Amino acid sequence: MKNNNVQMIQRLLVLVISIFSLGLSTSYAQIGDLGIYGSVPEDYRANTRYVKVESNDTDYNYGYTLPVNGLKNFNFYYSSSGYGFLPGQHYTVSYWNDSLTTMYASEIVNYIPNSGHTNGTQVSTAFNSPPSTPRGMHGRVYGRIGGVNYPFPNARVSTVPSLQNVTLDVTTNDDGYFYAYYQNGNAKQFLPVHPTILVEIYRVVITGTLNGCGFGSLVPLDAEWAPYNSIYPNLSSYFVTDAELDVGDIVITPNGCSGD
């Protein structure tokens, strides 16, 4: 009996450790410890509203601007179009005021993504008081082929709001993971929420090819996007409080496969 109790305790410890490890997965950090991520240096947080990333490679001029949330946190993971990922190279990361007329500080970051885009490089300042779960819309996409669910890399995920005409595109990494927190391009805005009723209901369109099969699915989401987004962006709750839309695992079936 004593040995049985010891074995039971050991199994419980293994289970707890496994669950804890899942909670620390790099794909499910605050905004995402993916791409170039972190927080505004403490000396400049009060006045910083935007962060720029600009390539230091003169042969590849690339860059765009993102807003910081109320905790002054940010991350650059996708290309500005959302149709791919931020390329690996040396970047200048700079911190700007609300009119983009004053730069408070800058730093050089050497970003080296792995082939699956499941890693990141932190700037000099770590996330400021990050929530325990991600901000923005996030989830994983699986393609179901022959009765098996496969993580779906490089799928295009397009967010389709019900109340506005502002779509947003992102790409899944090798784990099938995606997150949508910022608008594409140089919009300098977060995932849109209706300006009057302060809520949005999203669907996603997922397209791509996996193991010789073509996919194209419209997926309704049973959740609302209703972040705290007052006109006071310096409040710590700005696009932090209620600013999570966890869509979990999305499993889609192919429209057809080669050889069918």
Residues 47-75, mean pLDDT to the nearest whole number:
90
Confidence at residue 258, expressed as pLDDT on a 0 to 100 scale: 79
Buried-exposed string 188-222: b where 16+ CB fall within 10 A, e elsewhere: bbbbbbbeeeeebbbebebebebeebebebebebe
String of DSSP letters for 12-64: HHHHHHHHHHHHT-GGGSSS-SSEEEEE--GGGTTT--EEEEEE--TTS--EE
Percent of the chain with pLDDT strictly greater than 70: 86
Q: Model confidence over 121-131: pLDDT tens digits?
A: 999 999 999 88
Greater pLDDT, 83 or 67? 67
Return the pLDDT at 58: 63
- For residue 224, the number of C-alpha atoms closer than 13 Å in the C-beta half-sphere is 10
Alpha-carbon distance of 166 to 163, in angstroms, equals: 9
- Between residues 9 and 116, the one the model is more confident about: 116
Question: Of the segments 11-15, 130-134, 245-249, which one has the largest average pLDDT value?
Answer: 245-249
Give the number of other Cβ atoms within 10 Å of residue 123's Cβ. Answer: 23
Q: Please, what is the average pLDDT of the chain?
A: 86
pLDDT at 12 over 80: no
Q: What is the mean pLDDT of residues 19-23?
A: 33
What's the predicted TM-score (pTM) here? Answer: 0.85
| Residues 39 and 128 sit within 8 Å (Cβ to Cβ) | yes
Q: In which band, very low, low, confident or very high, does the pLDDT at 145 lie, cut at 50, 70 and 90?
A: very high
Structural domain boundaries in the chain? 30-122, 136-257
Give the model's pLDDT for residue 65.
95
> How many angstroms separate the Cα of 27 from the Cα of each of 11, 78, 230?
26, 14, 28
DSSP code of 5? Answer: H
pLDDT category of residue 52 using cuts at 50, 70 and 90: very high
The H-or-E segment that residue 3 falls in is helix 2-23
Of the ranges 28-32, 79-83, 196-200, 211-215, which one carries the lowest mean pLDDT score? Answer: 28-32
**Is 20 a residue whose pLDDT tops 60?**
no
Average pLDDT over residues 29-48: 87
CATH class belonging to 136-257? mainly beta
pLDDT at 25 exceeding the cut of 50: no
- β-strand partners of 30: none
Tokens 């995606």 -> residue: 178
The per-residue pLDDT for 31 is 66
